[in-house]
Chains A and B, each alone.
Chain A
Amino acid sequence: MAGLGPYLVKRTIQAVITIFVVTSLIWALFEAMPGDPTDQFFGNPNYKAEDIANMAVSFGLADKYIEHLTAKDFTQVPASEIPNANQQFTYYYTILKYNTNPRALSFTMNETYQYGNKTVQYGVYVFSSSEKVPLNQIYLQNSSTAPVPPQYKYHWYVYDKLGRSIQSVGVLPKKYDYILIEIPLKNVPISSHMKIALLYVTDKPMVERYLYFLKDMFTFNFGISSIYHQPVSNILAQRVPRTLLWFGLATILTYAIGIPLGTYIAWRRGGAAEGAVIGTSLFFYNMPSFWLALVFLWIFSYSLGWTPINGFASQGYTGIGSTCATLGICPGNPFYAVVDYGWHLILPLTVIVLLGVAGVILLQRTSMLETLGEDYILTAKAKGLPEKVVRNKHARRNAELPIITSFVLALAYAIGGAVILEQIFSYYGVGYTYLQALFAQDYFLAGATLFIISLLVIGGNIIADILYGVLDPRVRLQ
């Protein structure tokens, strides 16, 4: 007989591989998403382009380089050579060439300079191209909405906000990046004090990005959430337990109710109870969980007012709809925490248990029926063992095996389903966070949440596998 040890090792290796594959899949998905986790920070005045670039660099998305440009890097170009240029202005340009495609290019420059008694405000335009383009083919677009004549294939982009990435004006930097400086006076030399700190960030090669991502995930270095502005790991540490509480309780309840019921109706095959239970179970089994949740909300929360409309707890809030206002158990009461969480959990729990129980009953019944058809049951009955013993010892124990597999799958589905149910009940758990992050394009948070959800599901799988191995020695032999 094979020992448990090698089996455990085998299962663990498999789980590790699974985690690895899933993480890679997550990486691929987020890589395929348009944009980049750091994009969301660009609109935020609290973050400078440099900080964001640093963030990208620290998450292994990019490498950063800083360059300084001064007046001598710019060449004057006659206004007549630039289509649509203002002939009364003076123009200077420079071309930057990169051997790898930069993913962001940002520069900070002293915006104005004193020329005589005049304050000169620079106008800045940018243009990006994968090949070199002569200046007289690039149309000067004065504003982002001004039409570009059809004969011009290329046009300059107004670079109105200094200190932001070029991405913000609609061009992803390419191999050649042109910068055009416009001085709204005729024949004015460029300021000798002008300094441009040019920061350019180039994408790391894909392999490197991937390895960095794996490293970040496995070290729980999840980055900063762009919607909550706090580390993703803090947010998740707060929310994972809530989801586990809900689904842990729900799963336990589901099986505690489902197994005896399933056993009973399989044993009493053909009875009236069987028809009723099967009919109800089939109905609930194929019901969309979110719909049942909505119907329950409609009945119990809105119409009857028995259960709270949303939230996972009042947490000391005592206004309308809170635990304190509705049930009369207020902060200070020794049972407040239990009642508060419990009351908010009733409806979500009921929905999951109702839907889950249906599946468990059907499975337990099928599994029991299969076992009951075995010869050893007939033998047990034939030798005159009491019905209870045959049912509970001979039949049920063997029928439990598929149930344990289903337990695993149920867990996986339940946590996946949490995405929807948490949304409906505004229960701020993992699923709610995931959806919120996904819709707000908070990729750091969404990626990490998906990773955590996967970890939970795979973790559940390992536990179930181990249980299965312990209960059924045959499995270990395979």
Chain B
Amino acid sequence: MAEVSKWDEMRRHMKRSWGRGWKMFIHSKYGATGFAIILLFLVMAIFAPFLTPYTPHFEAPSIDSLRPYVYAFNSNAPVEGITIGYTQLVTAPSEGGSWIIINHGKSIQGIFTQDPKRVGSPNLEPWATNSLRFTLQLSSIPGLGPQETVTHMAFLAPSTSDLQYHYSGPGQHPNWDGEIVFTTQDHLVIYDIFNLMPNSQYSRMVVEPLDFTPTWVEVDTTSSGNLTSPVVYAPGAAVFPSRFIAVGDDYHMNVYWYYYTYSNDSYMPSAKNCLYSVLNAVYSEKIIEKPLLFYNDQLYNQNVSKDQNVIVVPLQTETIVYKGFDTHTFPLPFVTPGMLPITPTPHIVKTVFDFALTAELGYYAGAPDVGKNYIFLPSQENGAAVVYVMKPNGDSSGHAAVVDDWTMKMGNGVISAAPSVTYASGNFTVYNAKYVSSVDETYIYKYVKGASSSTFEMEPFTHTSTGAIEVPHKAVLLNNMILQNGEMLVVTQEKNKELQLYVLDFADYLRTGKMIVSPFMYYDNHTKKLEPFPYPQGGKLSFYTYMGSLSGTRYSPTASFDLYGLYYCSNTNTIGLVNPKGNNVLPLPPGKYFSGNTYILGTDDKGHDIWTWLVYGSRVAFIVGITAAFISVMIGTLYGVYSGFKGGATDTVLMRFVDIMLTIPTLPILLILTAILGPSIWNIIMVISAFGWAGIARVIRAQTLSLRGRPFVDAARVAGASNRRIMFSHIFPNVLPYSFLYMTLGVAGAILTEAALSFLGLGDPKAISWGQMLYSIQTAGAVMYAWWWLLPPGLAITLISTGFYLIGRAFDEILNPRLRKR
């Protein structure tokens, strides 16, 4: 007779009982239910990637989680134009804000706006929270004819260092500072808004007659001054308080130098004496875009090349650049009351470039590195879109020069919007919008020039075939991009239609590798829904501009990342503020979101899809539950069989040890053990099994005791079987059903313990487990409202443990017939 190995024996034993056991099992109410539940979770664990729309590392794009707000009001009088008065340059951010200045034709209205978030409720319109407002009637200005109306406006903003240096004494107010510069049919008017402050006794304005009807007015751009280098005229750091103003029509340009300075200086000359004409130009060609007056805060720095300041006049076939406006440095203080301390004596150098601009030019005005405030000139070369880069320092002869190596060429099309330029520690990033009329699409290219590189290199957006972000229709404005904010608003226009706003979220692109180009949506506080911009619905967007931060200033955008845009709808006469960044509302409740994603169970605070995590979490539950239970059952079975079989003193000692293990408070000890071993799934499994075997050992020992006295054991012994053989071949297979029973019960316990450890923050932080989900909801403080996040993991834990427990109960019934239904 062939020798029957113990495994054959065991197999036959198992096979014999298997069929009968399975039948009983599946007929048990418990068994069937438990089996169904476990099967369900098993399917989830195995087919997780097919059951989930996302990966566990997926994070909801910010378009889903951000709630951009819009604040708007309707203007009663017709609106002819809007400009922004950047003021409030002192350091107190809580008072920061800007004027919104509205041209009503016969009057000018100004409303001071502050960061609506600081003021409190986003329901409140920002202007409703501030009493700072004015109305300037044109009739109150002497020297203007009764028929004249305001045609164009600009705002002469005081510069930071200037104000920080000089705000003192009576007659000063940080909010009421700056000049409205506007044109009428026949005049240029410079009007100090301090005149308009309630109870102000101040009256300072210039009414300058013009010999043409102006069609544009411009005040120079400047950046915040942080002058650490000494300047000529002042012992400390200060900027000479003057600005250039240009006014013109299609063929004329008059440039003035205006000394605006501190209002309460007793040496102050009259306003009229502060305005100096420095250039009058007449062109034979038409001016096609508003000229740019570019001045830099390093203007007066004598230690470096001073000549960085330019006026760029775009004509029909050529572009003219003037330089040499910064030769007016004279010592302060004033020597003669009422007289200007200096006479500006520009030595103008004119450069003519033989290309025409196709859009407004771009520049960066904040680079602290002298000579790096480049000017970006969009043009066309043989039908291809190009952007030339001009160094404002110019060449040795004082002429402005384009750096040939830096030219960016983008192929067929035309640059339709001013390049958007950002700069950080020597590195330039430029976004160019190229419009291709044949497909009515705009392509936004990203170019980067490192501090040491010699060219602007295109950095392709890899998810598109062209390497550029594609935006429908013609882009007319690239909103300044603030790196910290990571977003850019693109204003586009379909032919002869209203403007449309698109939002590009670069932070999201960096995270997901995909840029979602979508029309801007805002969050309506009343309907609690995302609505298509603009507000009100049906409004025709006819004006949009970048407004900057309203808690600090335009000049220090880092003061707050809440950056605003200002818009106007012509058909509804609505003026409003746009806050594209809005509020982050993670975790997201279940629903379909704007990106097209549906989160059936919502997301957590990091934007992870709860359903995905729930499904993947079953893997950890199975791994931890089954492994830990298996190990502890194996330990317990071997221990119990050995103890029961040996009997005597060994048994007593071993069982007393089991008693001790059973009385030990397990959880506190598991806590400290996992703290020592470090958070990892395998450590948790080890720790759980190390403390879970004692109960099993006791039961198995009792079974072994009863088996030990059975005739078949005696028979085996008589046949000469060794102790080991009896234990493994005769007793072990017979106690195995009990081991299996306790294993199924143990799985439930292990899953619960893992969840508890994870919940206390001792779990594997990299593992996707249900306990971890509950841990993060508590740390995120979302328990009080995020039911979609709170309920699923707990229910899953409950269900899977119940499933295993029910299977155990069914086994119990099979093994203990008395439990069966009578």
Given A286-B748, A288-B755, A290-B756; A302-B659 close (CB under 8 Å): no
Whether A21 is near chain B, meaning CB under 8 Å from some CB there, is: yes
Whether A377 is near chain B, meaning CB under 8 Å from some CB there, is: no
Nearest B-chain residue to A374, judged by Cβ: B818
Give chain B nearest CB distance to A236 CB in angstroms.
14
Interface pair A454/B798, CB less than 8 Å apart: no
Interface pair A373/B790, CB less than 8 Å apart: no
Residues in A neighbouring B663, C-beta threshold 8 A: 18, 22, 412, 457-458, 461
Given A298-B783, A298-B790, A412-B665; A366-B660 close (CB under 8 Å): no
Bound state CA distance, A298 and B666, in angstroms?
A: 28
Interface pair B759/A290, CB less than 8 Å apart: yes
Whether A14 is near chain B, meaning CB under 8 Å from some CB there, is: yes
Q: Which one of A199-207, A331-339, A383-391, A416-424 is at the interface? A: A416-424
Interface pair A419/B668, CB less than 8 Å apart: yes
Nearest A-chain residue to B757, judged by Cβ: A420
Bound state CA distance, A438 and B760, in angstroms?
A: 11
Which one of B668, B790, B818 lies within 8 Å of A369 (CB-CB)? Answer: B818
Interface string of A402-426 (1 = CB under 8 A from B): 0000000100110111011001100
Q: Which one of B350-358, B447-455, B500-508, B799-807 is at the interface? A: B799-807
Whether B484 is near chain A, meaning CB under 8 Å from some CB there, is: no
Give chain B nearest CB distance to A191 CB in angstroms.
45
Whether A25 is near chain B, meaning CB under 8 Å from some CB there, is: yes
Interface pair B821/A270, CB less than 8 Å apart: yes
Interface pair B659/A287, CB less than 8 Å apart: no
Give chain A nearest CB distance to B678 CB in angstroms.
10
Give chain A nearest CB distance to B731 CB in angstroms.
22
Interface pair A295/B784, CB less than 8 Å apart: no
Interface pair B801/A294, CB less than 8 Å apart: no
Given A417-B667, A453-B668, A454-B665; A294-B778 close (CB under 8 Å): yes
Residues of B in contact (CB 8 Å), total 45
Interface residues on A, range: 35 or more
Give chain B nearest CB distance to A25 CB in angstroms.
7
Given A17-B656, A457-B663; A286-B794 close (CB under 8 Å): no
Whether A146 is near chain B, meaning CB under 8 Å from some CB there, is: no
Q: Which one of B370-378, B398-406, B626-634, B669-677 is at the interface? A: B669-677
Whether A89 is near chain B, meaning CB under 8 Å from some CB there, is: no
Q: Which residues of B (742-760) have their CB < 8 Å from a CB of A?
A: 748, 752, 755-756, 759-760
Residues in A neighbouring B660, C-beta threshold 8 A: 17-18, 21-22
Give chain A nearest CB distance to B762 CB in angstroms.
9
Nearest B-chain residue to A21, judged by Cβ: B660
Interface pair B669/A294, CB less than 8 Å apart: no
Q: Which residues of B (510-530) have their CB < 8 Å from a CB of A?
A: none
Give chain B nearest CB distance to A99 CB in angstroms.
30
Q: How many Cβ-Cβ contacts under 8 Å join chain A to chain B?
A: 136
Which one of B676, B759, B821 lies within 8 Å of A33 (CB-CB)? Answer: B676
Whether B483 is near chain A, meaning CB under 8 Å from some CB there, is: no
Residues in B neighbouring A370, C-beta threshold 8 A: 818-819
Q: Which of B656, B669, B785, B793 has the most CB of A within 10 A?
A: B669
Which one of B671, B676, B798, B805 lies within 8 Å of A419 (CB-CB)? Answer: B671
Give chain B nearest CB distance to A335 CB in angstroms.
30
Interface pair B797/A291, CB less than 8 Å apart: yes
Bound state CA distance, A416 and B771, in angstroms?
A: 18
Q: Which residues of B (299-321) have their CB < 8 Å from a CB of A?
A: none
Interface pair A298/B797, CB less than 8 Å apart: no
Whether A434 is near chain B, meaning CB under 8 Å from some CB there, is: yes
Residues in B neighbouring A439, C-beta threshold 8 A: 761
Bound state CA distance, A319 and B664, in angstroms?
A: 41
Whether B641 is near chain A, meaning CB under 8 Å from some CB there, is: no
Interface string of B659-698 (1 = CB under 8 A from A): 1101111111101110110000000000000000000000
Nearest B-chain residue to A449, judged by Cβ: B668
Residues in B neighbouring A434, C-beta threshold 8 A: 668, 671
Give chain B nearest CB distance to A369 CB in angstroms.
6
Bound state CA distance, A317 and B797, in angstroms?
A: 38
Residues in B neighbouring A269, C-beta threshold 8 A: 821-822
Bound state CA distance, A458 and B661, in angstroms?
A: 11
Whether B774 is near chain A, meaning CB under 8 Å from some CB there, is: yes
Given A29-B673, A298-B784, A446-B672; A283-B665 close (CB under 8 Å): no
Bound state CA distance, A466 and B659, in angstroms?
A: 15
Whether A435 is near chain B, meaning CB under 8 Å from some CB there, is: yes
Residues in B neighbouring A29, C-beta threshold 8 A: 669, 672-673, 676
Whether B234 is near chain A, meaning CB under 8 Å from some CB there, is: no
Whether A1 is near chain B, meaning CB under 8 Å from some CB there, is: no
Interface of B is mostly: helix
Residues in B neighbouring A253, C-beta threshold 8 A: none
Whether A32 is near chain B, meaning CB under 8 Å from some CB there, is: yes
Which one of A34, A294, A419 lies within 8 Å of B774 (CB-CB)? Answer: A294
Residues in A neighbouring B818, C-beta threshold 8 A: 369-370, 373
Which one of A17, A283, A412, A417 lies within 8 Å of B798 (CB-CB)? Answer: A283
Interface pair B665/A453, CB less than 8 Å apart: yes
Bound state CA distance, A290 and B783, in angstroms?
A: 12
Interface pair B797/A416, CB less than 8 Å apart: no
Residues in A neighbouring B666, C-beta threshold 8 A: 412-413, 416
Residues in B neighbouring A420, C-beta threshold 8 A: 667, 756, 759-760
Q: Which residues of B (16-35) have their CB < 8 Å from a CB of A?
A: none
Residues in B neighbouring A413, C-beta threshold 8 A: 666-667
Whether A329 is near chain B, meaning CB under 8 Å from some CB there, is: no
Give chain A nearest CB distance to B178 CB in angstroms.
45
Interface pair A288/B665, CB less than 8 Å apart: no
Residues in A neighbouring B785, C-beta threshold 8 A: 298, 302
Give chain A nearest CB distance to B784 CB in angstroms.
4
Given A370-B818, A457-B663; A438-B798 close (CB under 8 Å): no
Nearest B-chain residue to A292, judged by Cβ: B794
Q: Which of A269, A298, A424 has the most CB of B within 10 A?
A: A298
Bound state CA distance, A409 and B662, in angstroms?
A: 8
Whether A450 is near chain B, meaning CB under 8 Å from some CB there, is: yes
Nearest B-chain residue to A443, judged by Cβ: B672
Interface string of A8-31 (1 = CB under 8 A from B): 000000100110011001000110
Which one of B665, B671, B676, B798 lies within 8 Å of A286 (CB-CB)? Answer: B798
Nearest A-chain residue to B666, judged by Cβ: A416
Interface pair B664/A288, CB less than 8 Å apart: no
Interface pair B794/A291, CB less than 8 Å apart: yes
Bound state CA distance, A18 and B665, in angstroms?
A: 12
Whether B791 is near chain A, meaning CB under 8 Å from some CB there, is: yes
Whether A285 is near chain B, meaning CB under 8 Å from some CB there, is: yes
Interface pair B755/A286, CB less than 8 Å apart: no
Whether A297 is near chain B, meaning CB under 8 Å from some CB there, is: yes
Bound state CA distance, A413 and B672, in angstroms?
A: 16
Residues in A neighbouring B669, C-beta threshold 8 A: 25, 29, 450
Whether B787 is near chain A, meaning CB under 8 Å from some CB there, is: yes
Whether A282 is near chain B, meaning CB under 8 Å from some CB there, is: yes
Interface pair A286/B790, CB less than 8 Å apart: no
Given A21-B660, A270-B821; A457-B752 close (CB under 8 Å): no
Residues in A neighbouring B755, C-beta threshold 8 A: 288, 290-291
Nearest 9 CB-CB pairs, A to B?
A291-B794, A286-B801, A302-B784, A416-B667, A286-B802, A416-B665, A287-B798, A18-B660, A457-B665
Give me 7 other A-B pairs in contact (C-beta within 8 A), A294-B790, A302-B783 excluded: A29-B676, A270-B821, A286-B752, A420-B756, A434-B668, A446-B672, A450-B665
Q: What are 11 A-B interface contacts by the 8 Å CB criterion?
A: A29-B672, A34-B676, A282-B806, A283-B798, A287-B797, A291-B790, A294-B790, A302-B784, A446-B672, A449-B668, A457-B664
Binding site for A on B (CB under 8 A): 656, 659-660, 662-669, 671-673, 675-676, 748, 752, 755-756, 759-761, 771, 774, 777-778, 783-785, 787, 790-791, 793-794, 797-798, 801-802, 805-806, 818-819, 821-822
Binding site for B on A (CB under 8 A): 14, 17-18, 21-22, 25, 29-30, 32-34, 269-270, 282-283, 285-288, 290-292, 294-295, 297-298, 302-303, 366, 369-370, 373, 409, 412-413, 415-417, 419-420, 423-424, 431, 434-435, 438-439, 446, 449-450, 453-454, 457-458, 461
